[in-house]
Structure 1
Amino acid sequence: MTQKILAADDNSLLINRLKSSLEQDGYEVTVAASGAEALELAQKNWYDLVITDAVLKGMADFELCERIREFSDVPVIILSERNKPMDKIMGFDYGADDYVSKPYNTRELKIRIRKVLKRYRKDYGNRPESDRIIVAGRLTLDKDSRTATVDHRKIDLTVKEYQLLKELASRPGKIFTRNALIFKIWGTEFSGDEKTLDVHIRRLRNKIETDPSHPQMIRTKWGVGYYFSTK
């Protein structure tokens, strides 16, 4: 399976040169020219790795890495001209898996990419199945591949749909308030309409329920919120 990389840098020449080089090695690379664009892509799509400059337009230093860590454990490699020891310490504190100084040697960077991806796969592969698989009634979630199946039928989910379903299915019977789910999935800085949650719930029901108009898995507790039922 082709491994997908998100690469973010304000320097379009540099990042597109890196994209071309990585694609020659068989990676599928998406580039972003700003912090906001990179964050939106990371929230909406699955990536095996994120490569980012420490400083991106529209964000504070290391902010992209910090924001990604709010919803994903995808490996992150920081590329930066900030090469003081304290800069590197900050990068790792914000959640980076590796820190590469600019200007970098492309061959060395590719070796680091392979090592980070290998280490990530190994760490996840060594976990017991109970840590990797969620079984809730007819639903099965694989946290490694981020896939969902209902009665052994694969369900295609967006990032937010998967996160929402995982949150609910991880604790069957627990009633989540609307605010609690919004906080868990969209974070403290969510400024959209609360109906966003209802839209995602409706889409999930259309995908996993036998009769979405009479849901048996994602249930509503009127006046409170939602819960997952295995009955």
Structure 2
Amino acid sequence: MENIRILVADDEEEICHLIKAYLERERYKVDIARDGEEALTLFHQHTYHLVILDIMMPQKDGIEVCQVLRKETNVPILMLTAKDHESDKILGLSFGADYYITKPFSIYEVVACVKALLRRFIVLGNNTIKQRSVMKYKNIEMDLTTYKVRVFGKEVTLAAKELKLLKLFLSHPERVFTKAQLFKEGWGEEYIEDDNTVMVHIRKLRKKIEKDPSDPLFIQTVWGIGYRFQGEKDEI
């Protein structure tokens, strides 16, 4: 893991050095930023394979940094927040974070989360990353070469738009997507105030991957915002 480089951005020095120490035990290279501006500067100077962001930082906060990074890269982003409100978690995930951990946290949870996020990607020889050819989350698996999908071990047939939506969800479990974001990813166009198009395809996808579409396990509705793909808390 010597070629894996991680950026940790948090204005609390003790937290930065704690995370750095434990991640370096796993043989990751770790850089520290104390505010959002420094985080972006470092990110543009080096190649990182994962970024850990605190929401509350000076200069630019974690949400702002996350928004900038998401326009440039698909690098996994883990968000740290001292706020234990659902709206804050949803905000971070909706702006592109892949997962969040609430302070105070167990350092072992952070390390486990980092390993799980990195497992979604494969490191190439030129120190860049790409998604693995097989994506798996809980009991859903998608082969990105053949685009075959298995749910609870059974192969299901999805239409093109359904595959695009599922791939997006599998790429970012727990992240909240607005209807506008789903529309742009699935249709490649700017969103028109037409909730029905997205809702119809979500309904079709649920029928194919959920055991009970009326009580979905995977595709959760976030009222007033959109949808997120989630499962039980013991995995990422």
What TM-score do the two structures reach when normalised by structure 1? 0.53
Note the C-alpha offset of 1:72.
1.1
Partner-residue secondary structure (3-state), 2:24: helix
Whole-Å separation in 2 of the counterparts to 1:60 and 1:38: 10
| Distance apart, 1:71 and its partner CA | 0.9
Is 1:63 aligned to residue 70 of structure 2?
Answer: no
* Matches of 1:43 and 1:95, distance apart in 2: 18
Whole-angstrom CA distance in 1 between matches of 2:65 and 2:104: 21
1:88-99 correspondence to structure 2 within 5 Å: 88-99=89-100
Who is 1:124 aligned against? 131
Aligned in 2, Cα 1:45/1:103: closer, same or farther, shift over 3 Å?
same
Q: 2:114: which partner in 1?
A: 113
Contact 2:36 2:60 in 1 (8 A): yes
Match of 1:36, as an amino acid? Answer: E
How do 1:73-152 residues align onto structure 2 when only pairs under 5 Å count? 73-121=74-122, 124-126=131-133, 127-128=144-145
Deviation per CA, 1:14-38: give whole Å up to 9, x if none: 1012111111111100000111010
Q: State yes or no: 1:22 paired with 2:23.
A: yes
Higher Rg of the two aligned structures: 1
Superposition deviation, residue 61 in structure 1: 5.3
1:222 aligned residue? none
2:131 is matched by which residue type in structure 1? Y
Displacement of 1:60 after TM fit? 4.0
Cα distance between partner residues in 2 of 1:21 and 1:37: 22
2:84 & 2:44 partners in 1: Cα distance? 29
Aligned-partner Cα distance in 1 for 2:62–2:6: 21
CA contact (8 A) 2:22 2:111 kept: no
Q: Which runs of 4+ in 1 moved over 4 A?
A: none
Superposed counterparts of 1:207-218, under 5 Å: none
- The 2-side partners of 1:66 and 1:120 are apart by 21
User: Alignment identity in percent?
Assistant: 32
- Pairwise CA RMSD of aligned residues? 2.0
Q: Shift of residue 69 of structure 1?
A: 0.9
Q: Which residue identity does 1:64 align to in structure 2? A: V
Amino acid in the other structure paired with 2:48:
Y
1:34–1:124 distance in 2 versus 1, CA, 3 Å? same
CA contact (8 A) 2:40 2:65 kept: yes
Offset of 1:45 from its aligned partner?
A: 1.2
One-letter code aligned to 2:107: T
Distance 1:8 1:60, change over 3 A: closer
| Whole-angstrom CA distance in 2 between matches of 1:53 and 1:39 | 13
Match of residue 205 from structure 1:
none
Equivalent residue of 2:31, what SS? strand
Deviation at 1:10, TM superposition (A): 0.4
Cα distance in 1, alignment partners of residues 93 and 17 from structure 2: 25
Structure 2 partner of 1:197: none
Task: Note the alpha carbon deviations across 1:161-198, whole angstroms, 9 max, x for none.
Answer: xxxxxxxxxxxxxxxxxxxxxxxxxxxxxxxxxxxxxx
C-alpha distance after superposition, 1:106-146 (max 9, x if no partner)? 11111111111102339712145xxxxxxxxxxxxxxxxxx
Structure 1: gaps (5+ residues): 129-231
Equivalent residue of 2:72, what SS?
coil
C-alpha separation in 1, matches of 2:45 and 2:19: 23
What is the alpha-carbon distance in structure 1 between the residues aligned to residue 62 and residue 26 of structure 2?
30
Which amino acid is 1:112 matched to? C
